[in-house]
Amino acid sequence: MQDKMKKLYEKIEIDAAYSHAMTLLSWDLETQAAKESVEGISKTLSILSKLSYDNYVNEDFKNLLYSIEVDKLDEVEKKIVEKLKKAVFEKMEKIPADEYSEYVKLIAEASSVWERAKNENNYEIFKPYLKKLIDTNKRFITYRGYKEHPYDVLLDDNETELTVSYADTFFKLLKEELGPFILKIKGKKEKELKDIKAKLSKYKFDIEIQKKLNKELAQILGFDFSKGVLAESEHPFTTEFNNKDVRFTTHYYENDVLSGIYSTVHETGHAIYEQQIDDKYNDTHVLSGGTTMGIHEAQSRFYENVIGKHEKFAILIKDLLQKYFGVNDISEKEYILLINEYKTQFIRIEADELTYPMHVLVRYEIEKYIFEDLKREIDLDDLSKMWDDMYEKYLGIRPKDYVNGILQDSHWSGGLFGYFPSYALGSAYASQMYEAMSKKFDVAQMIEQRNFAKINEFLKEYIHKYGSFKTPKELIKIFSGEDFNPQYYINYLKDKFTKIYLSEE
């Protein structure tokens, strides 16, 4: 037995080395590498990814993995074996190899066609690809099998144990409670916001100075620069090799200092999660990162929204902008409104905290419709119409073109169905985290005192330290003592935005 685990660890080490090299190359590509280097780096990346695939996907490894007697393992080893089986064999095995490689090719083509379609506002050229992507995914679901709802297969790929019946409860609440509330706030405090923005726009936000500000901010929040790096990239992201090497990026715009600040706060949430994972998982590689996309987004959105847009955090923003840029004519109260600006607009990634989940709701409803009946032919014009109808219903606006409608996100062109719900779930988990944390100590006071160590301690103890060892459902139980309860999210949003937008003083 010992012997087999030793062999397994040797294979894991090789995989870890490949993934280490690939992570660093990708990081370099996104942050520093010269434009002309893309071809060379991409070639190396594709060779490494082939080597790493071959390391695991072969009969010898399969025999080794399935011959290990799991009953004799400790709980960490058990989890490693279980995760490897699921990731390497259970999903891939059921899909015929030639169909899968066809699909990989389809994705590459679809992604570039989507880019053109988006630039030209041309849905027609993307439609045949979208149809093929949908048909292929339906076929894969048939191969892989499902228990209740076909869409469950795709949801679980992205958020372990997520099902339609679980997600439906959540989205129903958004529809019934948040929808009408959002329409009630529409148009409020527009003039105040315009005036504050006009004041801020008088200042110049030099990018070199922004870099210093953002570094200090990440430090204040608790990112440990002896175990990580902050760089710059077009689309901010976080990547890690282990808890001693966590890297994240932000972006800077000369005319929008808050965009950089909130990207930094969001990514710092991801980065602190990775830094606080227990050392004991480093060598397992399989368990050494954050557990799922939903839980990861919960950490980043907790920092970005719950903490970063908290009324007490406005004091910190005010102080930093005064210190670095001399901004001195915007009050604390004005900052609270500014960082919680409510925007009804079409683009998901530009949405504010309140309307964001409604953008996700639209995508969830459409994906559910696509996959609920595997035999039904999908009319692609119907999908676009569904999209527009729902924006009108939930946000009170109707897209006039495809770029602002169904063509805006890259996900489907990359074959990512079932991915969107975890964005909104992350926000809902974050509210439940706040609720649970508030039972232990006065969170507002900690933010005011800039005592983020206290907040990080809680996150580490109840969530971060576990790495990928626990599922989202288990973690929610651990930090809150109860199951997922989306009502906390609804209450949190309504209370907060009522206070800012609907109370007259």
In the complex, what is the shortest distance from the CB of residue 297 to Zn ion, in angstroms, rounded to a whole number? Answer: 5
In the complex, what is the shortest distance from the CB of residue 264 to Zn ion, in angstroms, rounded to a whole number? Answer: 12
| Choice between 222 and 294, CB closer to Zn ion | 294
Distances (CA, A) of 194 to 153, 182, 188, 325: 46, 20, 12, 20
Q: Is residue 292 a contact point for Zn ion (CB under 5 A)?
A: no
Residue 248 has φ and ψ, to the nearest 5°, of -140, 165
Of 204-212, 292-300, 428-436, 453-461, the segment contacting Zn ion by CB under 5 A is: 292-300
In the complex, what is the shortest distance from the CB of residue 286 to Zn ion, in angstroms, rounded to a whole number? Answer: 22
Of 137-145, 299-307, 318-326, 403-411, the segment contacting Zn ion by CB under 5 A is: 299-307
Distances (CA, A) of 291 to 274, 298, 376: 10, 11, 34
Give the residues across from 242 on adjacent strands.
245
| Choice between 52 and 408, CB closer to Zn ion | 408
CB atoms closer than 10 angstroms to residue 279? 11
**Cα gap 249→243, rounded to integer Å:** 17
| Choice between 121 and 410, CB closer to Zn ion | 410
**Cα gap 317→320, rounded to integer Å:** 5
Tokens of 138: 């339906």
Q: How many residues bind Zn ion (CB under 5 A)?
A: 1
CB contact at 8 A, 91 and 144: yes
Q: Which of 258, 237, 257 shows the shortest CA–CA distance to 248?
A: 237
Distances (CA, A) of 70 to 85, 317, 369: 12, 52, 39
**Cα gap 288→467, rounded to integer Å:** 5
In the complex, what is the shortest distance from the CB of residue 318 to Zn ion, in angstroms, rounded to a whole number? Answer: 25
In the complex, what is the shortest distance from the CB of residue 270 to Zn ion, in angstroms, rounded to a whole number? Answer: 6
Of 90-98, 101-109, 294-302, 323-331, the segment contacting Zn ion by CB under 5 A is: 294-302
Is 267 catalytic? The answer is yes
Q: Which residues of 396-428 are buried (b: 16+ CB within 10 A; e: fewer)?
A: eeebeebbbbbbbbeebbebbbbbbbbbbbbbb
Tokens of 244: 């001693």
| Choice between 300 and 408, CB closer to Zn ion | 300
Per DSSP bridges, beta strands 228-232 and 238-242 are: unpaired
| Choice between 243 and 422, CB closer to Zn ion | 422
| Choice between 275 and 300, CB closer to Zn ion | 300
Helix (H) / strand (E) containing 139: helix 123-144
Q: Is residue 300 a contact point for Zn ion (CB under 5 A)?
A: yes
Binding to Zn ion in span 232-291, by CB under 5 A: none
Q: CA 248, 251, 254 angle in degrees (round to 5)?
A: 155
| Choice between 210 and 300, CB closer to Zn ion | 300
**Cα gap 66→70, rounded to integer Å:** 9
In the complex, what is the shortest distance from the CB of residue 299 to Zn ion, in angstroms, rounded to a whole number? Answer: 9
**Cα gap 294→422, rounded to integer Å:** 4
- Residues 6 or more apart whose Cβ sits within 8 Å of residue 140: 95, 99, 103
Tokens of 334: 């004005």
Of 24-32, 165-173, 297-305, 451-459, the segment contacting Zn ion by CB under 5 A is: 297-305
| Choice between 300 and 305, CB closer to Zn ion | 300
What does DSSP assign to residue 174? I
Residue with CB nearest Zn ion?
Answer: 300
The count of C-alpha atoms lying within 13 angstroms of the C-alpha of 182, restricted to the half-sphere facing its C-beta, is: 28
In the chain, the amino acid numbered 41 is: I
In the complex, what is the shortest distance from the CB of residue 245 to Zn ion, in angstroms, rounded to a whole number? Answer: 19
| Choice between 264 and 300, CB closer to Zn ion | 300
Q: Which of 30, 159, 240, 267 is catalytic?
A: 267
In the complex, what is the shortest distance from the CB of residue 138 to Zn ion, in angstroms, rounded to a whole number? Answer: 29
In the complex, what is the shortest distance from the CB of residue 119 to Zn ion, in angstroms, rounded to a whole number? Answer: 25
Catalytic residues: 267
Point out which residues bind Zn ion (CB under 5 A). 300
